[in-house]
Amino acid sequence: METETAHPPLTRPPPLASSWDAACGALAQSLHLTRSDLGARDADWEELLAPPATGQDLVILKRNVNSQDENPCFLYLRCDPPGGEEIVSIGILSSARNMEVYSGEEYCGTSRGKNVCNVLDNSEHEKIILYKKYLKLESSTHACKIKLLSFGEKQCVFISKVVVHVRPLSANSSAGSPALGSRIDLERVQTIMESMGSKLSSGAQQLMNKVIFQQRCSQHDLIGLHIPCVKPPDIP
C-alpha cells in the first residue's frame, strides 16, 4: 500500500525589513512564503503576483523626511534560523517599476517590472500603478537586499506583495553555486595585466576568453536578456 510523502510544514517566514519608514507590522503582512518541495514552480508566479483583491490596503513605505541624503528604498530578507532554508527567487508587486537584488554587496540581477493594474489607495486617495517583478537567483542565499527603483524622485513606495520562494538547505546546495571565475571581473584583470606589460601564453589567453564568454552568457540569463553570446575565436 502506497503512502503519501509527508511534507514538512512551512517554517516562519524570513523577517522582512525596509530602509524606509512603514507602519509597525504592516510590511510583514505583505510577505508570502512558498517552498520548492510544495510544488511552487516558475509558472506559478503569474498567480502569485496577481492583482490584489478589491479594497485591499497597500503597505506604504515613506522616505524619512529628516534625512538629508537621497537614500534609495531597500527591502531586507534573511532566513531564520540561518542555515535552515535558503532563498531561491523573489517576486514583488509594488508601485516601484524595477528592482535590483543583492546578496551582501554582490549584485545578483535586475528585474524590469510589468504593468499589472491600477488601484486606488484608500489612505492617499490616489491612483497607483502596480508592477510585478520576479527574479530567480543564480545562486541561492540565506539573506539578500532588494533595491526598489522608480522613475523620478518618489517620496513613497506602495507594496502589495513580497513573495519569497525558499527551499530547505541541503548538502548538495553547493551544486548550484556559480562556476569558478563567475565572481571575478576577468576583463578588468586582463586590462590591468596589459597595462603592466604582461602577456598571457596562448593557452592561458584561450582559457580566459572562454571563461569571460561563460560569464557574459550567465549574466544575460540572470537578468532575462535573450542576447546571443558570440563565442570568442580560439587563439592559435
pLDDT value of residue 230: 52
Q: What backbone torsions phi and psi does residue 36 show, to the nearest 5 degrees?
A: -65, -30
Within 8 A by CB and 6+ apart from 33, the residues are: 10, 13, 14, 163, 164, 166
Helix axes 186-195, 202-222, angle to 10 degrees: 140
How many angstroms separate the Cα of 145 from the Cα of each of 75, 83, 107, 131, 172? 6, 17, 10, 19, 24
81: cis peptide before it, omega within 30°?
A: yes
The DSSP-derived string for 23-79 is -TTHHHHTEEEEEGGGT--GGGHHHHTPPPPTTPPPEEEE--TT-SS-PPEEEEEE-
Q: CA 25 → CA 11, 51, 175, distances in Å? A: 19, 22, 37
Q: 3-class DSSP state for residue 222? A: helix
Residue-wise pLDDT for 106-159, tens only, equals: 999 999 999 999 988 766 667 899 999 999 999 999 999 999 998 777 889 999
> Which CB contacts under 8 angstroms, 24+ apart, belong to 232-236?
234/206, 235/202, 235/205, 235/206, 235/209, 236/202
Report whether pLDDT(42) > 60: no
208 has pLDDT over 90: no
Of residues 99, 130, 102, the one with CA closest to residue 114: 130
Q: Do β-strands 31-35 and 126-141 pair in parallel, antiparallel, or remain unpaired? A: unpaired
HSE-up (13 A, CA, CB side) for residue 66: 1
CA distance 97 to 99: 7
Per DSSP, the three-state class of 130 is strand
Taking alpha carbons only, the member of 134, 145, 138 closest to residue 40 is 134
What is the reported pTM?
0.65
Q: What percent of the chain has pLDDT over 70?
A: 64
pLDDT in tens, 57-100: 899 999 887 766 668 899 999 987 655 889 999 999 999 999 99
Spatial distance between the Cα atoms of 190 and 158, rounded to a whole number of angstroms: 44
Phi, psi of 198 (to 5 degrees): -85, 150
Q: Give the C-alpha separation, 152 to 98, whole Å.
A: 13
Q: Which residues, in sequence order, are bridge partners of residue 61?
A: 157
Q: pLDDT at residue 175 above 50?
A: no
Name which residue leads in pLDDT, 229 or 86: 86
Q: Which of 45-59, 134-148, 161-175, 211-225 has the lowest mean pLDDT?
A: 211-225
Average pLDDT over residues 148-174: 82
pLDDT for the residue numbered 236:
47
